[in-house]
Amino acid sequence: MIDIDELNDRFSLGGVVKFAELHDKLVYLTVANQYADAQICLYGAHVMSFRPHHSEEILWMSPKSNFQIGQPIRGGIPVCFPWFGPHKSDSAKPQHGFGRLMYWEVTETAVKTNGKTLVGFKLCSSDETKAYWPHDFCAELTVIIGKTLEVSLKVTNQSAEPLEYTCALHSYYNISAIEDITITGLQGARYHSQLEPGEFIQDSPKIEIRKAETRHYHNTIATCMIEDSLFKRKIRIGKAGSGITTVWNPGKDASAAIDDMPNDAYLHFVCVEAVNAFEDVIKLAPGESHSTSAMIGLES
Ligand code: TA6
């Protein structure tokens, strides 16, 4: 049982960071500083909202999201860990790993010298994680809220044997309408699609989404930009420590088939994800760490 009063005693920061209950079910924190407002749920260490001042919301959250233990939150930035997609050999294990299905511990809140707010979380191995994955590990998620949102997942191998994992910062972006956006930054990159066989090269500089797409772009560290002509803004998505960028939109049919999003949700979000998977599986020797980061903000 999480004690919200105790969290506020230990980690609230004046008017800047506060902990509260979310829909009577989960525990979350709000950040309000000189740059932006943000919300992060402790369940999944899940960033749900990031709104720089004088701007519309950057992240998309499903109005039909479950906020229930055992179910992932739909929207925001799910942390997929320690595997991305279905489990390699056991389809009974949860899609995208258990990281988004467990409470993460708050380790730190701080105001940095530039006025940005830092919130730290960790999820370390326990009997609960070992029921899914045998390794000793510690995963730390650091979120920095300023004019940009910086999210970094650092995983350390605490076992005596090497370990391997895959992961994603599976960000959902709030857009005006799918037909009014383009995604740039991936021209020349090779990709495979989950929805059609073969390998492709991204020829055109702009990706336009006109149907369901699950594209995994390989060997790219490029910054991407979502250009939104109706909202008249560009969302800049930088990343580090990730060799794969996934672009996902469910399209009309899958959108209607997914319980926790509205039928027309595909019109209003696109995911551009910092991923480690496929040929970019992370292999850690004992004691080694790896960080995967995303830097999200508006192009001025
Ligand atoms: O990252 C793309 C993807 O793996 C898609 O295949 C799609 O299913 C999506 O993630 C959402 O997965 P979820 O388990 O959250 O419904």
- Is 280:191 a contact under the CB 8 Å cutoff? no
Going by alpha carbons, the residue nearest to atom 6 of ligand 1 is 214
Q: Hey, what domains does the chain have and what are their CATH numbers?
A: 4-298 (2.70.98.10)
SS (HEC) of the chain? CCCHHHHHHHHCECCCEEEEEECCCEEEEEEECCCEEEEEECECCEEEEEEECCCCCCECECCCCCCCCCCCCCECECEECCCCCCCCCCCCCCCCCCHHHCECEEEEEEECCCCCEEEEEEEECCHHHHCCCCCCEEEEEEEEECCCEEEEEEEEECCCCCEEECEEECCEEECCCHHHEEEECCCCCEEEECCCCCEEECCCCEECCCCCEEEEECCCCCCEEEEECCCCEEEEEEEECCCEEEEEECHHHHHHHCCCCCCCHHHCEEEEEEEECHHHCEEECCCCEEEEEEEEEECC
Tens-place pLDDT, residues 170-198: 999 999 999 999 999 999 999 999 999 99
Local confidence band at 106 (pLDDT 50, 70, 90 cut-offs) = very high
Local confidence band at 25 (pLDDT 50, 70, 90 cut-offs) = confident
From the list 46, 96, 135, 170, the catalytic residue is 170
Tens-place pLDDT, residues 119-170: 999 999 999 999 999 999 999 999 999 999 999 999 999 999 999 999 999 9
Going by alpha carbons, the residue nearest to atom 2 of ligand 1 is 248
pLDDT given for residue 271 in this prediction: 99
Tens-place pLDDT, residues 238-294: 999 999 999 999 999 999 999 999 999 999 999 999 999 999 999 999 999 999 999
CA distances 53 to 33, 50, 77, 209, Å, are 9, 10, 20, 29
Among 95, 167, 276, which is best to mutate for testing ligand 1, by the most ligand atoms less than 8 A from CB?
95
Query: 144 CB contacts (<8 Å, ≥6 apart)?
Result: 112, 116, 117, 118, 150
* Residue among 45, 54, 33, 168 at smallest CA distance from 110: 33
Q: Residue 1: is its pLDDT beyond 80?
A: no
Atom of ligand 1 nearest to the CA of 250: 7
Q: Rounded mean pLDDT of the chain?
A: 97
Asked about 105 being catalytic, the answer comes back as no
How far does the centroid of ligand 1 lie from the alpha carbon of residue 244, in Å? 15
Local confidence band at 23 (pLDDT 50, 70, 90 cut-offs) = confident
pLDDT given for residue 207 in this prediction: 98
From the list 140, 150, 213, 273, the catalytic residue is 273
Tens-place pLDDT, residues 44-95: 999 999 999 999 999 999 999 999 999 999 999 999 999 999 999 999 999 9
Pairs from 84-91 (Cβ < 8 Å, separation ≥ 24): 84/166, 84/167, 84/168, 84/275, 84/276, 84/277, 85/166, 85/277
Exposed e or buried b per residue across 225-245, where buried means at least 16 C-beta atoms within 10 angstroms of its C-beta: bbbbeebebbbbbbbebbbbb
Query: Which pTM does this prediction carry?
Result: 0.98
Q: Give yes or no for residue 72 CB within 6 A of ligand 1.
A: yes
